[in-house]
């Protein structure tokens, strides 16, 4: 019996594109004991799966030789900082490898990097935390190479005989780090890297005397790499911005006073004080006070919610106007923000089918480019007597045109931006495959309770006989005081909302299976089912008709009897969420069929379904829901299932995409492929739209990447364009596809 695989996580600095990830993946897979490797460019992380003990030093050395900063991510170092902040900390975890005093330096609590490993990190390096990108080591290298090129032009003009040598010196400033990375990548199993294409092209240009152009090409390549790093940093910042919503400190009640402690040290059960204007530092439940809570930073909801005692609040939201005492319900490492960041980081390591195809394609594409470049350089002179210098020049230009950077980044950049955009709006998708899969959804099956509805009954109708509605509500609320039954809570909530007086009830007692009775202000009152009320007071045909009518709408009716006379009816129902009807309509507008699957009684289900304009299948057991999903799939539909409870888990697993609604249960979240954290039905349609936008973006990116290369390939062979336009085509395409992908971060749909 094989032992289960263990996982070790590392943070990586300077990794800005899928080519970087591929080189690291290939290099680490070659190490003994490594079973699998998963690299996230946007998460700046790598997870290594291994059967036995892993030699961390070998992993660190292997990756650092490629020119990337790397530290081992320590487990259990506290809350979001361990899970959510590490990926943002990679800058300071790695900058010491860039020629600073790196010897024996411990990077952010992670494992140390040896001198041998650290010494190779040159090209892919970042700014320290808080520094602008233009102050990074990479920017300094680009600037130095550009300055050397300008100086070479000046010296060459003054001393023409030295022109070749000064341009050679200028290009070596940038080429040496590039060539070193190419060599290390080749030794680690990636001989056909972008750096290798660059090195061959520049070296070839020097050999045929195009030294000036070669120097310009190196500068343009470094500029492209720098811009690529800036774009990748923006994608990371989107998730880091979410993690940074949680304040670093909290005021905790201790010993009769308050003490300021780091938020990551808060434990479940701690009581914290949140002042007006403060961000709430942890998920919790209000135990004292009430206030408007601005949840826009976390949920995107523009209108603050009034919350009071016993209501939940989330880390990162803003307390607007009242002092609150909140009991912490989740440790820092498991609060809403940390869970979002963790899920997104894991999702970014799971590749979409399109991304996997591009990865496979690029493995053959790059060697193919080398072969085409060689054939263009050699065949015309050999076969047709062409000029060797001319055709070698064209062959070298083709190597630059063929750099696969724009192509390989076209898909992961869009996927990462899409996942980040969804996460910012509490739409969590567990990987690129899930994000891509949403565009193919043709049917959505909803649970009812807690999914299409709020999950708790509310008073919908008050019908009074011989009294006003306020008096009926007051008598009913008086009888229900102290009860935790959902119907009692609904009546008390309505009385509180309507500011109805709730007088004390004397000798109040529950009558099993019938209702509750007592004396309220000298009035003998009873509140219970229609049948029980009919036994105490005669109901007129009109009153019975009213009860039947309300029951027909799927509502539960309690009848109030006062001094032996029917005084009123109170109808209650678990009402649809405010955006449920709009959410269903939005799905239909996208051409998607919507179905409600519920275990509730048929009459209630039909009433709710009619109000929402959705098909209903009622009185279903968990296995029935799973069977209904299979039936829809047999009709040729691609089905998403939305639910929030344990009884939804079988159907969530059976669906093509399972969606946990409103935080849900742990089982639902584990089983589901995606999660909508704040219970908006409209978010299902938003996920579909986001998926379609991402796939359209990928199509645009691939068209730009391959289209530009095709155009410049033809113009190069015809002799219209040369080395400069060739590298501009590659750099330009990379910048264009990255910028296009980053547009998704601004998506509001």
Residue 186 class from Cβ within 10 Å (0-12 exposed, 13-18 middle, 19+ buried)?
Answer: middle
Total H helices, total E strands in the chain: 26, 26
CB contact set of 302 (below 8 Å; sequence gap of 6+):
296
Query: Reduced to 3 states, what is the DSSP secondary structure of residue 109?
Result: coil
Residues 729, 712 contacting (CB under 8 angstroms): yes
**Separation CA 349–CA 290 (nearest Å):** 41
**Separation CA 696–CA 677 (nearest Å):** 26
Dihedral over Cα of 665, 671, 674, 680: its sign: negative
C-alpha dist (Å) from residue 216 to 145, 167, 394, 719: 9, 9, 16, 19
Counted residue by residue, the chain has a size of 749
Tokens 């609150």 sit on residue: 324
Q: How many CB atoms lie within 10 A of CB 286?
A: 23
Beta strands 657-661; 639-643: pairing state: parallel
- Is residue 447 part of the annotated active site? The answer reads yes
**Separation CA 523–CA 621 (nearest Å):** 44
Phi, psi for 667 (deg, rounded to 5): -65, -45
Set 447, 600, 644, 673: catalytic member: 447
Torsion of CA 216, 218, 224, 229, to 10 degrees: -140
Residues 708, 729 contacting (CB under 8 angstroms): yes
**Separation CA 453–CA 157 (nearest Å):** 78
Angle value at C-alpha 616, between 613 and 618, nearest 5 degrees: 150
Residues 318, 290 contacting (CB under 8 angstroms): no
CB contact set of 54 (below 8 Å; sequence gap of 6+):
6, 8, 33, 34, 48
Point out the residues that are catalytic.
447
């Amino acid at each position: 019996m094989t032992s289960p695989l263990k996982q070790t996580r590392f943070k990586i600095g300077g990794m800005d594109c899928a080519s970087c990830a591929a080189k690291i993946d290939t290099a680490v897979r070659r190490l003994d004991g490594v079973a699998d490797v998963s690299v996230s460019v946007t998460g700046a992380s790598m997870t290594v799966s291994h059967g036995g003990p892993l030699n961390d030093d070998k992993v660190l050395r292997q990756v650092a030789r490629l020119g990337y900063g790397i530290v081992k991510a320590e487990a259990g170092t506290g809350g979001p900082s361990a899970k959510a902040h590490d990926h943002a900390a990679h800058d300071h975890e790695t900058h010491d490898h860039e020629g600073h005093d790196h010897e024996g330096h411990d990077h952010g609590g992670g494992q140390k990097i040896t001198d041998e490993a650290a010494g190779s990190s040159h090209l892919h390096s970042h700014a320290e935390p808080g520094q602008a990108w233009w102050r990074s080591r990479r920017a300094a290298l680009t600037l130095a190479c550009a300055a050397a090129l300008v100086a070479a032009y000046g010296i060459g003009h003054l001393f023409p005989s030295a022109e070749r040598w000064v341009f050679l010196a200028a290009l070596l400033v940038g080429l040496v780090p590039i060539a070193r990375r190419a060599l290390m990548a080749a030794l680690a199993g990636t001989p056909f890297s972008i750096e290798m294409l660059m090195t061959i092209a520049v070296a070839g240009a020097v050999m045929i005397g195009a030294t000036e152009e070669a120097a310009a090409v190196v500068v343009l390549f470094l500029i492209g790499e720098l811009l690529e790093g800036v774009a990748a940093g923006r994608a990371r910042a989107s998730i880091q911005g979410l993690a940074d919503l949680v304040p670093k400190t909290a005021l905790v009640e201790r010993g009769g006073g308050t003490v300021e402690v780091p938020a990551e040290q808060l434990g479940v059960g701690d009581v914290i004080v949140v002042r007006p204007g403060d961000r709430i530092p942890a998920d919790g439940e209000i135990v004292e006070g009430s206030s408007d809570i601005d949840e826009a930073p976390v949920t995107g909801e523009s209108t603050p919610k009034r919350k009071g005692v016993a209501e939940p609040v989330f880390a990162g939201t803003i307390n607007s106007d009242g002092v609150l005492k909140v009991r912490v319900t989740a440790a820092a490492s498991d609060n809403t923000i940390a869970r979002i960041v963790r899920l997104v980081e894991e999702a970014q390591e799971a590749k979409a089918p399109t991304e996997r195809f591009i990865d496979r394609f690029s493995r053959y594409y790059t060697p193919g480019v080398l072969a085409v470049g060689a054939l263009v350089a050699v065949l015309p002179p050999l076969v047709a007597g062409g000029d060797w210098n001319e055709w070698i020049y064209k062959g070298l230009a083709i190597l630059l045109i063929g750099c696969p950077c724009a192509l390989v980044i076209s898909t992961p950049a869009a996927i990462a931006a899409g996942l980040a955009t969804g996460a910012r709006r509490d739409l969590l998708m567990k990987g690129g495959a899930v994000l891509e899969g949403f565009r193919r959804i043709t049917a959505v099956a909803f649970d009812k309770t807690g999914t299409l509805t709020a999950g708790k009954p509310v008073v919908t109708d008050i019908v009074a006989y011989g009294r006003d509605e306020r008096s009926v509500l007051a008598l009913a609320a008086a009888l229900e005081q102290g009860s935790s039954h959902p119907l009692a809570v609904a009546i008390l909530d309505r009385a509180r909302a309507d500011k109805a007086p709730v007088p004390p009830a004397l000798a109040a007692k529950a009558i099993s299976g019938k209702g509750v009775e007592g004396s309220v202000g000298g009035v003998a009152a009873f509140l219970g089912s229609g049948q029980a009320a009919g036994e105490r007071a005669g109901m007129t045909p009109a009153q019975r008709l009213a009860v039947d009518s309300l029951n027909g709408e799927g509502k539960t009716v309690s009848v109030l009897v006062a001094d032996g006379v029917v005084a009123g009816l109170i109808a209650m129902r678990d009402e649809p969420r405010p955006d449920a009807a709009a959410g269903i309509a939005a799905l239909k507008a996208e051409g998607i069929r919507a179905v409600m699957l519920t275990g509730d009684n048929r009459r209630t289900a039909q009433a709710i379904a009619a109000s929402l304009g959705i098909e209903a299948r009622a009185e279903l057991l968990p296995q029935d829901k799973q069977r209904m999903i299979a039936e829809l799939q047999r009709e040729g539909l691609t089905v998403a299932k939305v639910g929030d409870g344990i009884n939804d888990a079988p159907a969530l697993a059976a669906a093509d995409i399972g969606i946990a609604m409103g935080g849900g249960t742990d089982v639902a979240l584990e089983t589901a492929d995606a999660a909508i954290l704040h219970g908006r039905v409209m978010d299902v349609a938003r996920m579909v739209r986001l998926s379609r936008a991402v796939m359209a973006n990928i199509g645009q990116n691939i068209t730009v990447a391959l289209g530009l290369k095709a155009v410049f390939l033809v113009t190069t062979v015809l002799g219209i364009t040369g080395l400069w336009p060739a590298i501009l085509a590659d750099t330009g395409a990379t910048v264009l596809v990255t910028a296009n992908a980053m547009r998704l971060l601004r998506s509001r749909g």
